[in-house]
Amino acid sequence: MQTNTTKQENPVASRLRPVVYLYAALNIAVVALLFSTVSPTLATAPAQEIAGLR
């Protein structure tokens, strides 16, 4: 075995790495936006009455 082997870096992978990081960050931002629009409160009485009329 050779101890002084040089590792060849894949040029395509090095160019795509920032794109993948940007895509992951965008997905995380979209998930955070979607979770921020969800209300964890329970339905109130008027909302239940309206739902019952339908």
DSSP 2: -
How are the residues of the chain apportioned to helix, strand and coil, as percentages rounded to the nearest 5?
Answer: 65, 0, 35
Predicted local distance difference test score (pLDDT) of residue 38 = 81
CA 28 to CA 45: how far, in whole Å? 35
CA 39 to CA 45: how far, in whole Å? 16
Model confidence, pTM:
0.54
Predicted local distance difference test score (pLDDT) of residue 5 = 65
pLDDT tens digits in sequence order for the chain, 54 residues long? 566 667 777 888 889 999 999 999 999 999 999 998 887 666 566 666 666 665
Predicted local distance difference test score (pLDDT) of residue 8 = 79
